[in-house]
């Protein structure tokens, strides 16, 4: 706990100043992307027209809202157009605050089907990023009374921080300017049967072969992409962000093996054995390779170390698979049918006889609350789950799917892997109440 009358350490204060400045610059960049990209999307071009300057050069000064051919018919959409216009005007944006505007935009897109239909996937992705950045800034503003000192320092050192920001991101310029024309990437990445990935189906020899072939095709594509980055930029995107990511391995499907006769006795929740190999191992050191999907919002937290002894299996023997240095007796959760179905999808095993499927978001909320979390909706689509009846303290955040209200199976599995990394959970820990 901080003493409200104490001063922050110089190192911590400097970190807050740089973080605050970074968030403001990223927020401004995202707003500029929306300013030019939102009216240019195919769904909205009919409602806008270019503003050109006087003279014969026809210099484009900006865009203006025309309302389409029938303004009365689209009058209900003027509200969202006004919200975006407020977002683009610095004075209005500063008075109303970005997080307030994002709340209103999010509410309108959630409740107005017409407005939602005019929002392209690209716009949704930028809005999601802007929502997160604005919420981070809002949370920093709550860090009183030091937030005032931080904001004042950012304003005084604006030029210095802008130069530092530009130097930091200058290393990305060669990456962004890498030219992939006249390469084999088009042929390697062309959608087709080579990328068919029947992960939702039960394991069979044919399905396993398709999974392995798709993984090989994907590895070949990214190996060629990394080679091109090295040729043109001298580095790869993974190398540039290696210092801020935690070490991970990429899951790979093992070769097919005929199931043993006693395999049917294995619990369907028991996770299958997978093998892990480093990604692009020909270009990087396997010991420090950073692989897998990069989720900017995912914060890795090491599991809480306890001293209750090793987890035991049903036979009473100590589980030898427990990671070294972690001694934690994992609980068993008895849940109702609705929550049990959710966790069977989150920790789905290919050995299970059940067919996986999408998970309704309300069912996911119900399942998390059932095992001892308090669910709180944050800015945008983010939800925070705070342990209230568990022997852990670290909260975790997940994002509600938009515009659909169901977690796709692949998302559900991703959430399950995050729960496993954060809390050490496995599928067999969730049992159906009798």
Residues 217-270 pLDDT 10s: 999 999 999 999 999 999 999 888 888 877 767 778 888 888 766 544 444 444
Distance CA 225, CA 188 (A): 10
More reliable by pLDDT, 280 or 102:
102
Q: How many residues does the chain have?
A: 434
pLDDT of 62 reads: 61
pLDDT of 16 reads: 93
How are strands ordered across the β-sheet holding 373-377?
Answer: 373-377, 382-387, 396-399
* Mean pLDDT within 327-346: 83
351: nearest Cα among 250, 251, 257, 252: 257
More reliable by pLDDT, 271 or 368:
368
Residues 350-361 pLDDT 10s: 766 677 788 999
Indicate whether 343 pLDDT > 70: yes
More reliable by pLDDT, 162 or 378:
162
304 token code pair: 């809480």
- Per DSSP, which regions of 66-130 are E strands? none
Indicate whether 2 pLDDT > 80: no
pLDDT > 70: what percent of the chain?
74
pLDDT of 61 reads: 58
State yes or no: cis peptide before 261, omega within 30 of 0.
no
Sequence-distant (6+) residues with CB within 8 A of 433 are: 334, 335, 336, 337, 340
DSSP letter at 300? Answer: -
More reliable by pLDDT, 132 or 402:
132
Residues 138-191 pLDDT 10s: 989 988 888 899 999 999 999 999 999 898 888 889 998 998 887 888 889 888
Quote the crossing angle between the two packed helices 158-170 and 10-37, to the nearest 10°: 70
Location of structure tokens 């945008």:
380
Indicate whether 300 pLDDT > 50: no
The band of 57, judged by pLDDT with boundaries at 50, 70 and 90, is low
Q: Please, what's the largest Cα pairwise distance for the chain? A: 86
Location of structure tokens 């049917």:
264
The continuous run of DSSP H or E covering 170 comes out as helix 158-170
Distance CA 255, CA 273 (A): 11
More reliable by pLDDT, 185 or 403:
185
The band of 321, judged by pLDDT with boundaries at 50, 70 and 90, is very low
CB contact at 8 A, 367 and 339:
yes
């Amino acid at each position: 706990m901080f003493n409200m009358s104490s001063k922050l350490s110089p190192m911590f204060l400097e970190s807050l100043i740089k973080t605050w400045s970074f968030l403001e610059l990223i927020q401004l960049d995202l707003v500029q992307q929306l300013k030019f990209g939102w009216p240019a999307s195919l769904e909205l071009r009919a409602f806008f027209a270019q503003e050109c300057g006087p003279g014969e050069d026809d210099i484009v000064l900006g865009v203006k809202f025309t309302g389409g051919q029938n303004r009365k018919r689209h009058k209900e959409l003027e509200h969202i157009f006004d919200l975006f216009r407020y977002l683009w005007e610095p004075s209005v944006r500063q008075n109303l605050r970005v997080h307030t505007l994002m709340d209103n935009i999010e509410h309108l897109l959630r409740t107005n089907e017409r407005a939602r239909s005019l929002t392209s996937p690209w716009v949704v992705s930028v809005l999601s990023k802007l929502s997160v950045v604005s919420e981070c800034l809002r949370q920093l503003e709550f860090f009183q009374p030091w937030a005032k000192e931080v904001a004042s320092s950012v304003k005084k050192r604006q030029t210095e921080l802008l130069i530092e920001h530009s130097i930091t991101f200058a290393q990305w310029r060669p990456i962004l300017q890498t030219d992939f024309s006249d390469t084999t990437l088009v042929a390697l990445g062309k959608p087709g049967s080579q990328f068919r990935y029947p992960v939702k189906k039960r394991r069979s020899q044919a399905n396993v072969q398709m999974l392995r072939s798709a993984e090989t095709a994907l590895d070949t594509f990214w190996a060629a992409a990394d080679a091109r980055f090295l040729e043109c930029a001298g580095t790869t995107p993974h190398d540039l962000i290696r210092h801020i990511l935690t070490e991970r391995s990429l899951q790979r499907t093992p070769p097919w093996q005929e199931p043993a006769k006693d395999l049917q006795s294995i619990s369907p929740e028991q996770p299958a054995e997978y093998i892990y190999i480093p990604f692009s191992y020909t270009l990087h050191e396997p010991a420090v390779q950073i692989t897998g999907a990069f989720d900017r919002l995912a914060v890795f937290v090491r599991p809480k170390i306890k001293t209750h002894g090793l987890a035991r299996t049903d036979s009473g023997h100590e589980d030898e698979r427990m990671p070294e240095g972690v001694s934690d007796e994992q609980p068993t959760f008895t849940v109702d049918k609705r929550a049990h179905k959710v966790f069977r999808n989150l920790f789905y095993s290919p050995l299970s006889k059940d067919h996986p499927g999408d998970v309704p978001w309300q069912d996911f909320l119900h399942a998390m609350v059932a095992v001892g979390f308090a669910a709180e909706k944050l800015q945008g689509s983010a939800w925070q789950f705070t342990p209230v009846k568990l022997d852990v303290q670290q909260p975790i955040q997940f994002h509600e799917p938009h515009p659909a209200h169901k977690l796709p199976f692949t998302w559900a599995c991703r959430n399950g892997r995050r729960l496993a990394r954060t809390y050490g959970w496995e599928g067999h820990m969730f049992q159906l109440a009798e």
